[in-house]
A and B are shown apart, each in its own frame.
Chain A
Amino acid sequence: GAGVSQSPSNKVTEKGKDVELRCDPISGHTALYWYRQSLGQGLEFLIYFQGNSAPDKSGLPSDRFSAERTGGSVSTLTIQRTQQEDSAVYLCASSLAIYTGYNEQFFGPGTRLTVL
């Protein structure tokens, strides 16, 4: 596609429910990243994928968070048993590759998650 797309754009859920957030990277980009932007906080790294593997999961805030990527393309971020502190904008980015000196990251529009 022309850019990184994310769905849904907005998600309102009740505390305790599970949610799935989807990211479609730019075609041909092998690296994919998830970030979280909370109100009043900066941008926080969550996880990245090179192909379908996630070498670094250290940014995931708890074991309620998980992510997968299939076919080297679409990625899904799942939050189980959502809590109010999970409310944030979840941003996805992609880049051509990692392990290079030049890997400009391109961001999607984000998913705004509100947990009531």
Chain B
Amino acid sequence: KQEVTQIPAALSVPEGENLVLNCSFTDSAIYNLQWFRQDPGKGLTSLLLIQSSQREQTSGRLNASLDKSSGRSTLYIAASQPGDSATYLCAVRPKKVGNEKLTFGTGTRLTIIP
């Protein structure tokens, strides 16, 4: 059974700092890994999707990396801003025909201190 872990559960950093969020998964047989952010009381916003054949994806100040063999992904946020405060979730899609479930981590609650 796939298990996805995100550490730390919560993180507070001063504005302007660069930071890294971690995601680990137990089964490396995945199609892709997706990073989301969730604002309080809101749905999920997709940030980046990395296919299993890729090593990283970039969007603006965000960079996500994937090391499938070791079951790890990181989300790097450069020059953090108060608007980045949210819960960040990673999710993996299994590489199994007919299994379309995303398995989510429990998230990292990020607070950027102005």
Contacts and interface: CB of A to CB of B under 8 A. Distances in A.
A42 B106 contact: yes
A106 B46 contact: yes
Interface of A: 4, 6, 31, 33, 35, 42-43, 45, 48, 50, 55-56, 59, 91, 93, 98-99, 101-110, 112
Contacts of A91: 43-44
Contacts of B91: 43
B106 A104 contact: no
B96 to A, nearest CB: 11
Nearest to A31: B100
A99 B98 CA distance: 8
B87 to A, nearest CB: 11
Contacts, number: 62
Contact of B104 (A43, A48, A110): A43
A48 B101 CA distance: 8
B102 A56 contact: no
Given A91-B43, A99-B97, A110-B43, A105 B102 contact: yes
Interface in B25-70: 31-32, 34, 36, 41-46, 49, 51-53
Contact of B101 (A59, A102, A110): A59
Given A56-B101, A102-B49, A107 B107 contact: no
B109 interface: no
Contacts of B53: 101
Given A42-B106, A43-B89, A102-B51, A108 B43 contact: yes
14 contacts: A33-B100, A35-B102, A42-B104, A42-B107, A43-B91, A45-B103, A50-B100, A55-B100, A101-B52, A101-B53, A102-B49, A109-B42, A109-B43, A112-B41
Contact of A107 (B32, B43, B98, B99): B43
A4 B30 CA distance: 25
